[in-house]
Amino acid sequence: MTADPEDQQRIEFLDVLRGMALFGILLVNVFSFGADSIAWDSPSDRLMWHFKNVFFESKFWVLYSLLFGMGFYLQTQSKRYHVLHSLRRLSVLMVFGCLHALLYEGDILMLYAELGLLLLLLYRLPSRALLLLAVLLVLSFPVGHLFGGDRDDDWPFEDAAEARAWLMDERAESPLVNGSLSEVLAYHSSHIPERFWADWQYPDSGFLVLACFLVGVVVMRSGWASFSQLSATRAGGLAGSLWLVGLGLMALERYWAHQIGYSPFDRTEASLESLFLADLTYLAATAALAAAWFFSAKWWVTSRRLSVVRAYVASAGRMSLSAYLSQTLIFTTVFYGYGLGVAYSWGPTQVVLLSVVIYAGQLLLCHWWQARYRRGPAEWLWRSLTLWRWEPLRSGQ
């Protein structure tokens, strides 16, 4: 997750943005255990759902994928870089992903490892070629949505009562709620390895993730010099403009949802023209709001505001792989039957509060760890296995 090349100094902006993205990834992930249902129709639950949908849904995997591409490019610029080093790193990441996917279906590490191999083949192309390829990859979503693909059975619930019945069925039948740890592992084993091409019709498919990798390479290779010179005033102005554009586009996307029952993840009976326009609106809104977060992080770092909070967020960003994996350990223990077993019984308000508590605890723990150790535990193991030697862990070693 972190680039962490041996002879590159840490870039505070990248660490802060990774730390911010950790919260967005966590928030979206915890909704996947039933809180994303229209069954939760109280005012507070609907407010929290819209909060997640507008500000976080799809925006933070975009940022994380962009960061992966940027970090990958930094690695290739190391004086001691060799392609075999990248192959070993990706191989270890794949092992981490397979183990992680046994516990949680939403793993991204396998996907990053697989697509990282494609990135190795593509990153030397000219920046214009990479951007053109990224656009073509992104268009796989609206084109796939037009033709349906595996959305044939993905019709949204008609009302809250139907959604509540589904939640009750899941609580009664899901191995996540009723199974032992071994049964949970067996249930998830069918998703290994990741088939990045299988969900090409969706707005979070492997094709779109690869597109973000490519954009990340271009940003670091062709735009970083200008970006790094942005003043706080300029970065804040760009962030504000992007927030206005992005929120306006999200409002338009919500209009489509109300008018034609549009959802980027479900089927709809709308005309092909309306569906395609709604998909393009969703893509544009996602891109604008992801960029708004990107420039907001730049403003925060450059303005030096709330420096103590920023230091804690940066600490989490420097050990983002460890934080990402520990998030899964925590929320699956809360949701799965071998833990508290509350999957499909907590609504949006409760899972948002859970996310805040987990993230706040992680900020404190990561900051404590960074004061004593060079790397997070997962980052240390990743590096040691990549180099095939035990690296020093404690600071000062």
pLDDT at 56 (0 to 100) = 95
The reply to whether 91 falls in a domain is yes
pLDDT at 154 (0 to 100) = 58
Q: What token pair was written down for 120? A: 């190795």
CA distance 110 to 21: 19
3-state secondary structure of 394: strand
The reply to whether 397 falls in a domain is no
CA distance 68 to 61: 10
Q: Could you tell me which of 355, 315, 316 has the C-alpha nearest to residue 335?
A: 355
Q: How many residues does the chain have?
A: 397
CA distance 204 to 328: 19
Q: Are 68 and 83 in contact (CB under 8 A)?
A: no
The reply to whether 356 falls in a domain is yes
Domain total in the chain: 1
**Torsion of Cα atoms, 157 then 158 then 162 then 164, to 10°:** 60
pLDDT at 153 (0 to 100) = 56
pLDDT one-digit tens code per residue, 179-235:
899 999 999 998 899 999 888 888 989 999 999 999 999 999 999 999 999 999 999
CA distance 350 to 355: 9
Strand partners, 373: 394
The reply to whether 277 falls in a domain is yes
Provide DSSP, 172-229.
HH-HHHH--HHHHHHHHGGG-S--TTTTTTSTTSHHHHHHHHHHHHHIIIIIHHHHHT
pLDDT at 148 (0 to 100) = 65
SS3 content of the chain, % helix, strand, coil (to 5): 70, 0, 30
- Side chain identity, residue 225: A
pLDDT at 4 (0 to 100) = 42
- pTM equals 0.93
The reply to whether 392 falls in a domain is no
The reply to whether 6 falls in a domain is no
The reply to whether 395 falls in a domain is no
Mean pLDDT, consecutive 10-residue stretches, the chain (397 aa), reads 45 95 96 92 94 94 96 89 92 97 95 97 96 96 78 65 89 91 92 88 93 97 92 96 97 88 80 89 96 97 92 96 97 94 95 97 96 94 93 81
Look up tokens 């992080």; give the residue: 297
The reply to whether 3 falls in a domain is no
Query: Which element (helix H / strand E) includes 299?
Result: helix 272-303
DSSP state of 36: T
pLDDT at 257 (0 to 100) = 86
Domain of 62 in residue numbering reads as 12-387
